Amino acid sequence: MRPIVFCLTVLLAAAASAASAADSARARMEAFSKDLKSVSAGFSQTVRTAQAAVGDTSRGTLALAAPRQFRWQTTEPFEQLIVADGTRVWIYDPDLEQVSVRSQSSEEAQSPLTVLTDLSLIDRDFVASEAGERDGLAWLRLSARAEEPEFEYAELGFDGSGLSRMIFKDQLGNVTEMHFTDWKRNPSLPADTFRFTPPKGVDVIGDADGPEVFPVRP
Which tens digit of pLDDT belongs to each residue from 99-152? 999 888 655 545 788 788 888 888 888 899 999 999 999 999 999 887 777 788
Query: How does DSSP assign 56-112, residue by residue?
Result: EEEEEEEEEETTTEEEEEEEESS-EEEEE-SSEEEEEETTTTEEEEEEPPGGGGGSG
State if pTM tops 0.95.
no
User: What is the mean predicted confidence (pLDDT) over 73-97?
Assistant: 93
- The rounded Cα 208 to chain-centroid distance in angstroms is 25
Q: Which has the higher per-residue pLDDT, 146 or 59?
A: 59
In tens, the pLDDT along 6-28 reads: 333 332 332 233 333 457 999 99
159, 139 contact by CB (below 8 A): no
Is pLDDT of 157 > 50? yes
Residue spans of beta strands (DSSP E) within the chain: 38-48, 54-65, 69-76, 80-84, 88-93, 98-103, 126-134, 137-144, 151-159, 162-170, 175-185, 203-205
Give the pLDDT of residue 54: 78
In tens, the pLDDT along 25-34 reads: 999 999 988 8
Give the pLDDT of residue 106: 53
Give the pLDDT of residue 215: 39
User: What is the mean predicted confidence (pLDDT) over 187-207?
Assistant: 91
Q: How far apart are CA 58 and CA 12, in angstroms?
A: 47
Q: What percent of the chain has pLDDT over 70?
A: 82
Give the pLDDT of residue 142: 92
Q: How far apart are CA 128 and CA 26, in angstroms?
A: 8
Q: How far apart are CA 35 and CA 43, in angstroms?
A: 22
Is pLDDT of 197 > 60? yes
Residue type at position 7: C
In tens, the pLDDT along 87-98 reads: 888 999 999 999
